[in-house]
Amino acid sequence: MKEGDFDPADALERLRHEEVEGLFDFLDHTQFWIKDTAGRYLRVNRAFQLNYSLARASEVIGLTDFDLSPAYLAEQFARDDARVLRGERILGRLELVGRFDRVTGWFRTSKIPVRDREGAIAGTAGITRRLPGVEAAGFPVPELAPALAAMQGDPAANWTNAELAKRVGLSVSAFERKFRRHLQTTPMRFLKRLRLTSAAAALVQTDRSIADIGLAEGFSDQAHFTREFRKGFGLTPRVWRQREADSVAAGGDHDFG
């Protein structure tokens, strides 16, 4: 190549792809990931991290969908990945996707093969975004759906077990037993996790004050919010927000540990 000639492939090769991938962290409601040929996660964005209520994006590295989702969802994801690894593209697929609490919703997903420098398929990459206004019968236990929907619709509300039990037509004790049996936690702990996950997203997606976010998510004051956030995510809301800002500015992985 003559001096002064421009080779775009060579120019792209010199760029740090990690910094480019960091742009996906600014897509607040769109999950992004890269997997290897075995279906192990290599990179996820902030929306993916928050969907599974992870304190660190690095916690998902090396895991597969079978570690994160119920088998009936993971098996479908794996079948799609197998198609993509054969060179197909899956564009605009409507599918159910779960969250940290195993509640599912309808998403629109696209997946493409990722090739190595020699041109061989070496993994998959994908994005998915929840369909607005589309409700899915995706609650893990249908008979608990009214209570789960109420908590998810307004997690900041001052819910009680008695109010939630009334919504599903059970006594308080029966409701608590069924909830614990199927979700492996109590209703109030589940509600707290909903609040904390929503607050974690607000801390990195908005510039609202920590006190305002805490109050909006149902915590009595900033001290209460900070104490519960530290228990849930291992650090204070202020450190969570600052480390995320520093990570995005540096173009690195959002590892909050």
Read off the amino acid at residue 107. Answer: F
Assigned fold of 14-136:
Beta-Lactamase (3.30.450)
Average pLDDT of the chain is 84
Q: pTM here?
A: 0.64
Which pLDDT score, from 0 to 100, does residue 238 have? 92
Give every strand in the sheet of 90-98, ordered side by side: 41-44, 30-36, 121-130, 104-115, 90-98
Q: For residue 181, what are its two tokens?
A: 């049996």
Average pLDDT over residues 75-103: 87
For residue 40, give both structure tokens.
């192990």
Residues paired with 129 in a beta bridge: 30, 108
Does the structure show a pLDDT above 60 at 223?
yes
Q: Are 47 and 127 in contact (CB under 8 A)?
A: no
> What pLDDT is recorded for position 106?
79
Please, which pLDDT band fits residue 165 given cuts at 50, 70 and 90? very high
Please name the fold of domain 142-248: Arc Repressor Mutant, subunit A (1.10.10)
Query: Domain boundaries in the chain?
Result: 14-136, 142-248
